[in-house]
Structure 1
Amino acid sequence: MKPVFRMIGSTIAAIAVSGAAYAADPIKIALVHGISGSTYEVFSKQTHTGFQMGLEYATGGTMEVAGRPLEIIIKDTQFKPDVARAALAEAYGDDEVLIAVGGTSSGVTKGMLPIAEEYERILLIEPAVADSLTGEDSNRYVFKTSRNSSMDMQAQALALAPDENLFVATLAEDYAFGRDGISAFKAALDGSGATIVTEEYVPQKTTDFTAATERMFNALKDKPGRKVILIYVAGGGDPMGKIQAMEPARYDISISTGGHILPVLPTYKRVPGMEGAIYYYYEIPRNEINDWLVKEHQARFDSPPDFFTAGGMAAALAIVKGLETAESIDTESLIAAMEGMSWETPKGTMTFRPEDHQALQDMYHFKIRVDDEVDWAIPDLVREISADELKIPLGRTN
């Protein structure tokens, strides 16, 4: 049965009903994401869709756990740290949610971490990526189903097959996501013999990459061996297209970047044969949950599920398993149940590392293929990079 929506003040609550009123108190979950004020809002909307579908799948359509209905309250952070902190505090305090899921921007999400500790309630991070979200500034109430920057960059490094003949210039946005990502990439190359020749950081929402690109060209053009510009930009601005338009091939420079959401993949048609690493592409995982997600999403929305749809579903599946296996439905019991917990997702098995609550998961090495019958470039699987291959630095240890 599909969820029924009702208004609660400035939020929307999704409540599944089975034809009769529930006597039991609902289990309240808040989705605290930016759904206005940024181009990143598409990430939030995908996460919300995947989360709803994940709850449906995990509960067999009943939308209840242990005889209690699940109530979802949606909060808009507007991609502003102060608004995000207030929204999360309101969710824990006034709305009395047991668990919050958020946020979208790594920088905004970082400011939410102490609110979870203050209220002693779980914050499940999805889809924000930065390593620091489970780092020294995190706390025992924070769990993270989204991949982190080290996963992105270790997988990206493996895709580039680094050795002493590889020279790389990096381009990233100047905030937590970009800085953490490049730091992780440098760590992944350590000991391989590869060389980082320059690092370029641009403000968020940059649209003119000319100066940064010229500096990268100058740093790379006289190097021997393989020369690569690595792009690690989550937002718009089309850096890959603009760099490609400046003809890096005249210096034997190639471009590499990670995978992206479906609306961005048409731009990858300009780089056939490019290799990189991706978190999720709907045709890659082969398992029962992903098969259901692809089939149902196509039927309901006339499109396949995307990056953060899978992430939202993984978060919902984690919460339901935690609720089902905890000795009682309260924060301390949930923490005990979720630390070290493994569960199945559209990507296969994920496991919350006990020490810092980061979900360990597989990544995928891809190679871009262009098919004129498909609107976007296709990231064909080269090989699955298992979670065991990724030596993810330990974050919070206390």
Structure 2
Amino acid sequence: MRRTLVPTVAAAVLASALAVSCASPGDSAAADSEEVKVALVTSTSGPLASYGKQYLQGFEAGLDHATGGTGEVDGRRITVLKDDDGGDPAKGVSLAKKRIGQDVRIIAGSVVSGVGTQIAPVAEQNRTLFLSGPAATDELTGVNKYTFRSGRQTHQDVVTARAILDAEAGGKGGKGGTTKQKVVVLAQDNAFGQANVAAVRQLLGADGGARVTPVLASPSATDLTPTASRVKSAKPDMVFVAWAGDTAQSMWNTLDQQGVLDSSTVVTGLDIRASYPVFGKARDKLTLLAHYVPGATANDEAEAMRAYFEKKKWQEDLFSPDGFNAAQMVVQAVRESGEDLDTDAMVEALEGFRFAGVKGENTVRSSDHALLQPMFQAEFDGSGKPAVLTVFEPKRVAPAAGKIG
């Protein structure tokens, strides 16, 4: 599964996120009619630096494509300001406040869920558009009027897993295959793991009729044999794995040694290219749910991104489309914002916005700002690269509908 770091944040930090000393952009003088500043607050250092790098590269390619190579929207130059949050929520909040104080009306880029959930209330307090990046936490969907997503969320991962299990069981309609199935959620006992347990319980358990059992391991555990034994003894039909960090390779080897991969359908999320070797010999026994599979799509946006990356000598990866999406959303928001770069007009322009992205058709759901998008089922081929088996259309893998606030 993709890794999401959610550090503990003191109450004082949360409180500070709700109050910014600078004036609200919505009350300030009209923006410079010849320039629009966009702050990309993301991780270029820390545990998820690779995610941030992919996002930034995708954004650059997306901005080039959406502006026809000019970097301008209706004569207004888009100036991109890049800030490294290092995966630290407090630092992310501080950077967001700083940019808002410089009359920045659009902030984008969080790859860490803990950063995104702290910036969101700052955006609301200051009427600033916030386009969260690869951060997967469901908490960002519908959190407030000014927060949108440019990537997928945990519920979309789990709904994809349900569709996969349904197909494996021969069911139809997205739920039949999970009825009375035994599902084990194997995860680490941290915020990311617990969020996945909650999502699986809701979508496969309460909604799908499966019997869901969590098996949580300490993030610091190095001997994972007892954990694998607990999974095997549960005799699951499916094991949903949400794992992160340096013990991933050991975890997969241990599951394989304990026979779990031979006795159950094991579903996990496809991570970035650098993680492919981590699966080891286990890779041929896994079913992959995938936010994106590099090279899997061939629409105009995908080809534009690849052409841009080729010029830069970059390689597309799991979160490249999220950055590309964000740039397209920025251009749409700016185009409809009026001369004063009105934030409420930007919000209105994005609600219900339907656009072709690298993955296919995307739609910003008006009620809660979830980004409806295709998801994929994949497996590793003989060369060790992921290959798409099934493309799930956005409606089939849409997260539960919510509302803002």
Q: What does residue 89 of structure 2 align with? A: 81
Alignment of 1:282-361 (within 5 A): 282-301=294-313, 303=315, 305-328=316-339, 329-361=341-373
Shift of 1:186: 2.4
**Distance between the aligned counterparts of 1:125 and 1:250, measured in 2?**
35
SS in 1 for 2:148: strand
Shift of 1:250: 8.6
The superposition leaves residues 283-321 of structure 1 with CA deviations (integer Å, 9 ceiling, x where unpaired) of: 222311102212332342253x00111111111111112
Q: What does residue 394 of structure 2 align with? A: 387
Residue type matched to 1:367 in 2? E
Residue type matched to 1:87 in 2? L
Deviates more, 1:120-129 or 1:181-190: 181-190
Alignment of 1:235-254 (within 5 A): 235-238=245-248, 240-249=251-260, 252-254=263-265
**Distance between the aligned counterparts of 1:100 and 1:302, measured in 2?**
24
Shift of 1:174: 3.7
SS in 2 for 1:281: coil
Deviates more, 1:55-64 or 1:377-386: 377-386
Aligned-residue CA RMSD (Å): 2.3
Q: Is the helix fraction higher in 1 or 2?
A: 2
Deviates more, 1:242-251 or 1:178-187: 242-251
CA contact (8 A) 2:37 2:81 kept: yes
Shift of 1:26: 1.6
Shift of 1:32: 0.6
1:143 corresponds to 2:148:
yes
Specify every segment of 5 or more residues in structure 2 that has no aligned partner in the other structure, as ranges.
1-31, 167-176
Choose from 215, 227, 236 the match for 1:200.
215
**Distance between the aligned counterparts of 2:404 and 2:274, measured in 1?**
38
Q: What does residue 129 of structure 1 align with? A: 136
Q: What does residue 24 of structure 2 align with? A: none
Alignment of 1:64-213 (within 5 A): 64-93=72-101, 95-135=102-142, 138-161=143-166, 162-164=177-179, 166-190=181-205, 192-196=208-212, 198-204=213-219, 207-213=222-228
SS in 2 for 1:28: strand
How many percent of aligned residue pairs carry the same amino acid?
26
**Distance between the aligned counterparts of 1:56 and 1:341, measured in 2?**
20
Q: Which has the higher contact order (CA 8 A, sep 6+)?
A: 2
CA contact (8 A) 1:256 1:276 kept: yes
CA contact (8 A) 2:141 2:369 kept: yes
1:363 corresponds to 2:375:
yes
SS in 2 for 1:30: strand
Residue type matched to 1:172 in 2? A
Shift of 1:35: 1.9
In structure 2, relative to structure 1, the CA distance for the partners of 1:133 and 1:302 (3 Å cut) is: closer
In structure 2, relative to structure 1, the CA distance for the partners of 1:227 and 1:324 (3 Å cut) is: same
Choose from 224, 239, 242 the match for 1:229.
239
Choose from 32, 37, 47 the match for 2:46.
37
CA contact (8 A) 1:365 1:381 kept: yes
CA contact (8 A) 1:273 1:369 kept: no
The superposition leaves residues 189-226 of structure 1 with CA deviations (integer Å, 9 ceiling, x where unpaired) of: 24544322x21334557655333223222323xxxxx6
Residue type matched to 1:238 in 2? A
SS in 1 for 2:274: coil
Choose from 242, 260, 263 the match for 2:274.
263
Q: What does residue 9 of structure 1 align with? A: none
**Distance between the aligned counterparts of 1:337 and 1:251, measured in 2?**
49
Specify every segment of 5 or more residues in structure 1 that has no aligned partner in the other structure, as ranges.
1-22, 221-225, 372-376
**Distance between the aligned counterparts of 2:258 and 2:355, measured in 1?**
46
SS in 2 for 1:160: helix
Q: What does residue 223 of structure 1 align with? A: none
Q: What does residue 29 of structure 2 align with? A: none
**Distance between the aligned counterparts of 2:272 and 2:286, measured in 1?**
16
In structure 2, relative to structure 1, the CA distance for the partners of 1:386 and 1:254 (3 Å cut) is: closer
